[in-house]
Amino acid sequence: MNRRYIAIGSGPAAISAAEAIRSQDPSGEIVMIGAEPYGYYSRPGLAYYLAGEVPEKRLFPFSPEDFARLDVQLVPKRATSIDAAGHRVTLEDGRMLSYDRLLLATGARAIPVQVPGAELEGVVKLDDLEDARGLIQRSHRAKAAVVVGGGITALEIAEGLCARGVHVHYFMRQDRYWSNVLSEEESRLVERGLQSRGVQIHHFTALAKVIGRQGHVVAVETEKGEEIPADVVAVAIGVLPQKELAEAAGLRCRRGVVVDEYLRSTNEDIFAAGDVAEVCETLTDQYTVEVLWSSAAAKGRVAGLNMSGGLTHMYEKGVPLNVTRLAGFKITIMGMVGSGRDADLEGIARGDSETWRRLGEAVSVESQDGDSHIRLAVGENSISGAVVIGNQTPSFTLQRLIAVRADISGFRAKLLQAGDSLGDVIQDVWTRWSSSHV
């Protein structure tokens, strides 16, 4: 008898799992339940779509032929419950589907803001394609928008609306942008980039209430009592893994669905991957949530292999990495680079990793050359993290040095004293290290 695999979710975690399952089980039945009508598309691409840089059709990495090749049955419905003992999933239309192995790949959802007026028409978020379409529609009529929150998504919304001719007020609770991941110099670089695009930054400013007329946003009031007219209030204060189905099914959950090294939940036939999974990180031995496309795909792959081939593949969390664009600057963030809490974020943001908030015993060194910037977290024997802004030449080299935990103890003093020639010193370290590790 053929096995039946069900994935709840149709993002990169579910797709990678389906590919892995198909590679080991050519005749098994794969069913993908997805609440969104659009199926599989690039969420990171939504920022570029909002800014008018890519057309909607470029957001879809899979063609109907790709789905046919995978032989996946797509069910465009919301799953409403899981009967773990009976191996069944119930859909919103009351249908029940039975499974042999189930994957939870339900992703994460924006945390709503808790202020009076938050329910008004015009208070928006950016989770999915529907939200991006809605923002574009609003931008045709809107004169001014207020953006609250932190991390990548807040900036993507601010930049996107700005590019569409809306005047954007960006509120920050404290003195600088993304303070638990970026250094002060990096925050300032990004802020200058935002201002040069026309975004009006309000430091030490928090949203107190959204003011409406006939159900629509017309202004906001800050905690200092200032009133600012706005047609749109965009909120990006972090996301929460969508773990409700798992909790109701009795699976162990904390911030996300807790999984073991095989990405198996506390039920042996139910796995979890992607933003919803909380995994133990080998590097630090701490449970971590990540909202990164590449991590979601990597987890999906391992879960799929284990669902179809027995518990043969352990998930080893790699160095979390994101290459993105903030305020016009290309920026790569990798490994452990920051610490503390950012008052603009309640938890994790999109395109973000909890690992980035750790620094360990490392010492930070930075160098600036015009609009290009490098920062390293240098430990006793290895580089544990890096941020590269602008010129990305050192990026690949650093990724390798960090990923293999290259022993840099012989170069440590040179790195710490490199000053503005940090880029050259990194290249030198790489040349010497790689020539002795062929």
The residue ranges that bind ligand FAD (CB under 6 A) are 8-14, 33-36, 43-44, 46-47, 78-79, 105-107, 126-127, 152-153, 156, 242, 245, 274-275, 291-294, 296, 322, 324, 350-351
Q: Which is nearer to ligand FAD, 246 or 426 (CB)?
A: 246
By beta-carbon proximity to ligand FAD, the closer residue of 55 and 225 is 55
Distances (CA, A) of 369 to 184, 372, 376, 390: 16, 5, 15, 9
**CA angle, residues 178, 42, 16, in degrees to nearest 5:** 110
What does the angle CA 231 – CA 236 – CA 241 come to, to the nearest 5 degrees? 140
* Nearest approach, Cβ of residue 322 and ligand FAD (Å): 5
**CB 221, min distance to ligand FAD, A:** 27
Q: Which is nearer to ligand FAD, 272 or 422 (CB)?
A: 272
**Residue nearest to ligand FAD as judged by C-beta position:** 274
Shortest Cβ distance from residue 422 to ligand FAD (Å)?
Answer: 25
Phi, psi at 79, each rounded to 5°: -85, 135
According to DSSP, the β-strands at 372-378 and 383-389 are antiparallel
One-letter amino acid at 26 equals P
Task: Tell me the closest approach of the beta carbon of residue 325 to ligand FAD, in angstroms.
Answer: 8
Shortest CB 23 distance to ligand FAD, Å: 18
Nearer to ligand FAD, 25 or 128 (CB): 128
**With respect to ligand FAD, which residue has the nearer C-beta, 132 or 219?**
132
User: In sequence order, what DSSP letters do the residues of 404-437 get, joined into one string?
Assistant: TT---GGGHHHHHT-GGGHHHHHHHHHHHHHHT-
Nearer to ligand FAD, 106 or 384 (CB): 106
Structure token pair of residue 297: 């795909």
Q: Least distance to ligand FAD from the beta carbon of 365, Å?
A: 26
- Specify the DSSP element, H or E, that contains 7: strand 4-8
CA–CA dist 203, 225 (Å, integer): 15
